[in-house]
């Protein structure tokens, strides 16, 4: 049994060594036509890492020949298929510069964008690559109006812009979670100053209103009235834009509390209690619906 295992292991080593020697022989060969054919064989067999190495070697050997642009393009495409997007983006960038009239250039231009898109990070991390990708995609759409890849590019832009919007939103919400409500309101307002069309606009306006209410509620008595009035402005800004929002009931309850705190005796305690109970009932219903939706999505 042990001898059989040793024999199998020895054969495996020999086979691997033979394959490795064969590839190394091709890689070091000066026969351009043979290496060129082998590079495409590896590529077509899905062995993209080896294909990339052969095309990289051929890029020097075919310099100035009719094969040059094909070799350069497939070098990048091999790295792309191998999911080495950083190297592939470099390949495609050089290709576009060196071969602006090649028949491969339109596809190389798009694949470069796809490499940039795939090299971006989650919203929690550095978003400089995201901004670089957005700029390149916008320029591509300007230079290639009505391109076959337009829909894909627009989908990329939606995803990347949402990532930036979410990063800004979650950054401001940290102040709210830390109960620094003054800083929270300023941070959320700054988001809308920078980008009024932020995808999280409804939630942002909600947090602006809640931040101003909680800041007023926790203030010393002498400053509460002015700060409650700030909340009232924020409240009406919110319901003016989103009268049917899921946050409406909660903000209505808070508004009545603010009115009562400012001495508006027309708001009865039982009105606040009734609104609060209704809000809690609706909130539980929404949470139950969300749990059901999450379960269905699994």
Q: Average pLDDT for consecutive 10-residue bins of the chain (298 residues)?
A: 50 49 88 93 96 95 94 98 97 96 96 96 91 96 93 97 96 96 97 95 98 95 94 97 96 93 69 49 50 46
Residue tagged 């971006």 (tokens): 120
d(CA 184, CA 175): 5
Give the pLDDT of residue 28: 87
User: CB count, 10 Å around CB of 238?
Assistant: 23
Q: What local confidence, expressed as pLDDT, does residue 2 receive? A: 52
Instruction: Quote the tokens at residue 227.
Output: 């700060």
Tell me the pTM. 0.76
pLDDT at 1 (0 to 100)? 52
Q: Quick check: helix, strand or coil at residue 273?
A: helix
Output the six-digit token pair for 218: 């926790």
For 179-297, CATH number?
A: 1.25.40.10
- Provide the pLDDT for residue 5: 53
**Quick check: do 33-162 and 179-297 share a fold?**
yes
Number of C-beta neighbours around residue 115 at 10 A: 25
pLDDT of residue 8: 53
* Measured distance CA(99)–CA(118) in Å, rounded: 24
Q: Helix 221-241 vs helix 248-261: angle between axes, to the nearest 10 degrees?
A: 150
Q: Alpha helices, DSSP H only, in 28-149?
A: 32-44, 48-61, 68-81, 85-98, 105-118, 128-143
Those residues whose C-beta lies under 8 Å from the C-beta of residue 80, and which sit 6 or more positions away, are: 88, 91, 92, 111, 114, 115
Distances (CA, A) of 20 to 34, 41, 223: 17, 16, 79
Q: Sketch the domain layout of the chain as residue ranges.
A: 33-162, 179-297
C-alpha span between 79 and 68 (Å, rounded): 17
Contact in structure between 64 and 90 (CB atoms under 8 Å): no
Task: Give the per-residue pLDDT at 21.
Answer: 84
Residue 287 is predicted with a pLDDT of: 47
DSSP state of 195: -
3-class SS at 285?
helix
Q: Is the dihedral of CA 92, 93, 97, 103 positive or negative?
A: positive
Q: What is the CATH number assigned to the segment(s) 33-162? A: 1.25.40.10
Please, what sign has the CA dihedral across residues 213, 214, 215, 219?
A: positive
For the beta carbon of residue 185, count every other beta carbon within 10 angstroms: 25
Instruction: Copy the structure tokens of residue 100.
Output: 């602006």
């Amino acid at each position: 049994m042990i001898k059989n295992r040793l024999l199998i292991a020895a054969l495996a080593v020999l086979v691997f060594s033979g394959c490795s020697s064969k590839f190394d022989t091709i890689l070091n060969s000066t026969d351009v036509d043979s290496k060129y054919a082998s590079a495409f064989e590896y590529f077509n067999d899905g062995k993209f890492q080896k294909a990339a190495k052969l095309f990289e070697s051929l890029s020097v050997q075919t310099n100035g020949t009719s094969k040059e642009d094909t070799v350069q393009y497939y070098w990048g495409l091999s790295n792309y298929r191998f999911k080495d997007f950083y190297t592939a983006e470099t390949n495609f960038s050089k290709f576009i510069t060196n071969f602006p009239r090649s028949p491969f250039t339109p596809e190389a231009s798009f694949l470069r964008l796809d490499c940039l898109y795939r090299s971006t990070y989650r919203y929690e991390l550095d978003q400089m690559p995201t901004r670089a990708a957005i700029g390149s995609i916008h320029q591509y759409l300007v230079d290639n109006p009505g391109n076959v890849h337009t829909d894909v590019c627009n989908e990329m832009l939606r995803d990347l812009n949402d990532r930036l919007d979410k990063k800004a939103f979650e950054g401001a919400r940290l102040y709210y979670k830390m109960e620094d409500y003054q800083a929270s309101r300023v941070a959320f307002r700054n988001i809308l100053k920078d980008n009024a069309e932020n995808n999280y606009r409804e939630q942002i306006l909600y947090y602006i209103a809640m931040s101003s209410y909680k800041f007023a509620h926790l203030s010393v008595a002498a400053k509460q009235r002015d700060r409650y009035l700030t909340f009232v402005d924020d409240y009406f800004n919110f319901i003016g834009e989103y009268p049917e929002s899921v946050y409406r009931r909660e903000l209505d309850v808070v508004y009545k509390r603010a009115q009562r705190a400012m001495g508006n005796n027309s708001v009865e305690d039982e009105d606040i209690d009734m609104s609060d109970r209704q809000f809690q009932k609706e909130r539980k219903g929404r949470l139950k619906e969300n749990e059901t939706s999450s379960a269905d999505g699994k």
